[in-house]
Amino acid sequence: MAMIVGRSSRTSLIGNGYYYLRKKLGFLGVISHETSSPKYSSSTTPLFHPKPNGLWRFKATLAQTQLADHNKDVVDDQGLDFPGGRVTFTSDLTFISESTDKRVPCFRVLDDNGEPITHNYVQQVTKDLAINMYSNMVKLETMDTMFYEAQRQGRISFYLTTTGEEATNIASAAALSPDDVILPQYRESGVLMWRGFTLQEFANQCFGNIADYGKGRQMPIHYGSNKHNFITISSPIATQLPQAVGVAYSLKMDKKDACVVTFFGDGASSEGDCHASLNFAAVMEAPVVFICRNNGWAISTPIEEQFRSDGIVVRGQAYGIRSIRVDGNDALAVYTAVQKAREMAITEQRPMLVEVLSYRVGHHSTSDDSTKYRAVDEIETWKMGRNPLSIFRRWIERNGWWSDRDESELRSSLKKQVIEAIQVAEKTEKPSVAELFKDVYDHSPINLKEQEKLLRETMRRHPQDYPSDVRI
């Protein structure tokens, strides 16, 4: 309700709207009651139901909320119905502290040695699922390593790895259904891999050849696939967040049994779009699962320079969103948390916020050398000591589901597959000049047709100035 009051000063500037404003809005800017309820069709969720304020208690999967101790001086029956709900008064001049003594704890299932800390969530992961998850993590790591090498060799122009975040990628994807729409940022290729994108398809996009679904129009790692419900990656940070809310809106209108899952990093959490999307999603009760990959670094900006809050998880309550913090090195924890978040998002039609803590072991991208701004031993500690693959591997080996031989077979087979994918993609021809002008609109307007004609003529007249392997 408060938002209407805030806007009145703006709308009063607008000529026509002014007298309507005075007529419709009463004191305090509360919407006149005759418009607020039963006239709307019952199939839609009424947005202006007064909601009970206050804390909700849930099962142990939620992090504890910690308020400061100012409640002791609350005079209980003194309160007032301000816009937005009833608020009780206190005569104690205490500010809510900017930080709590203890940070929000992090949910994990396996310890650093892959030993289950609790057996509560372990049994739902079957052998097949576990092996599938692990194989995909290895596949992701292999693909990342070799494509990175390919960039260094000059075969592709750019690459970006998910090193250190394989568990976040694969385990979160494993917890979703194929109908859930994914809006990625750019460090989530594992999610697409889980859904069935082949190594060849990845390579095709990176090489920008005719088999690329993006038709060679985007830079490498900007994957997108309609059939996998994976929206094409767009470089600017956090633009996918409001779009995720829009997709959830679309799902809500269609009443689908699916949710939207969107990923963003610690750096993206500073963007205005991040704030607004979380806010929107909460107001609209949109079934979006916001997964924040807090990996400690935004190119060269460390967490301390990005925000001063206790990570992203604490912001959930600020928006009225249920949130949890998860250990990103623990695939089982990520799997369990995302699965539960998804369930709550769909059954309760609400947004969820999952903060996954991890570490960006690799450089930001091939255009970056992170040793310039961080200590090499910091990188090594995480790489060796808290590797998500090793942790998970220890667990599946302990269960008798995996052996050293399986490991070496898998790795050598994958290495061959990746090499082959790269080689095939490299040899595949690039899109023709016609693709430069298509899909800007549904049908090419006259100016684009002219420009295409002009380009072709120029290419025909001066073939030596243009790459010979591109078809005219």
Task: Check residue 289 for interaction with other proteins (CB under 8 A).
Answer: no
Task: Check residue 212 for interaction with other proteins (CB under 8 A).
Answer: yes
Stretch that binds other proteins, among 114-122, 167-175, 296-304, 437-445 (CB under 8 A): 437-445
Stretch that binds other proteins, among 79-87, 138-146, 186-194, 270-278 (CB under 8 A): 270-278
Q: Are 199 and 418 in contact (CB under 8 A)?
A: yes
Kindly give the interhelix angle for 127-152 and 388-398, rounded to the nearest 10 degrees.
150
| Cα separation, 212 vs 185, whole angstroms | 19
Query: What is the footprint of other proteins within residues 217-256 (CB under 8 A)?
Result: 217-218, 222, 224-226, 231-232, 234-236, 239-254
Q: Are 182 and 231 in contact (CB under 8 A)?
A: yes
Look up residue 227 and give its two tokens: 């059939």
Q: Are 300 and 373 in contact (CB under 8 A)?
A: yes
Least distance (Å) between residue 3 CB and other proteins: 6
Least distance (Å) between residue 254 CB and other proteins: 7
Among 277, 295, 306, 323, the residue binding other proteins under the rule CB under 8 A is: 277
Among 63, 183, 193, 314, the residue binding other proteins under the rule CB under 8 A is: 183
DSSP secondary structure letters along 48-79: TPPPP-S-----TTSPPP---GGGGGEEEEEE
Catalytic residue numbers?
149, 235, 364-365
Least distance (Å) between residue 273 CB and other proteins: 6
Task: Check residue 157 for interaction with other proteins (CB under 8 A).
Answer: no
Least distance (Å) between residue 271 CB and other proteins: 9
Widest CA span of the chain, in angstroms?
87
Task: Check residue 189 for interaction with other proteins (CB under 8 A).
Answer: no
* Number of C-beta neighbours around residue 83 at 10 A: 12
Report how far apart, in Å, the C-alpha atoms of 371 and of each of 163, 360, 378 are.
15, 12, 10
Q: Which is nearer to other proteins, 39 or 405 (CB)?
A: 39
Query: What is the footprint of other proteins within residues 62-101 (CB under 8 A)?
Result: none
Stretch that binds other proteins, among 44-52, 70-78, 146-154, 186-194 (CB under 8 A): 44-52
Residue 258, SS3 per DSSP: coil
Helix (H), strand (E) at residue 456? helix 446-461
Q: Which is nearer to other proteins, 40 or 89 (CB)?
A: 40
Helix (H), strand (E) at residue 378? helix 376-380
Task: Check residue 430 for interaction with other proteins (CB under 8 A).
Answer: no
Task: Check residue 454 for interaction with other proteins (CB under 8 A).
Answer: no
Q: Are 175 and 183 in contact (CB under 8 A)?
A: no
Count of residues touching other proteins (by CB under 8 A): 74
Residue 387, SS3 per DSSP: coil
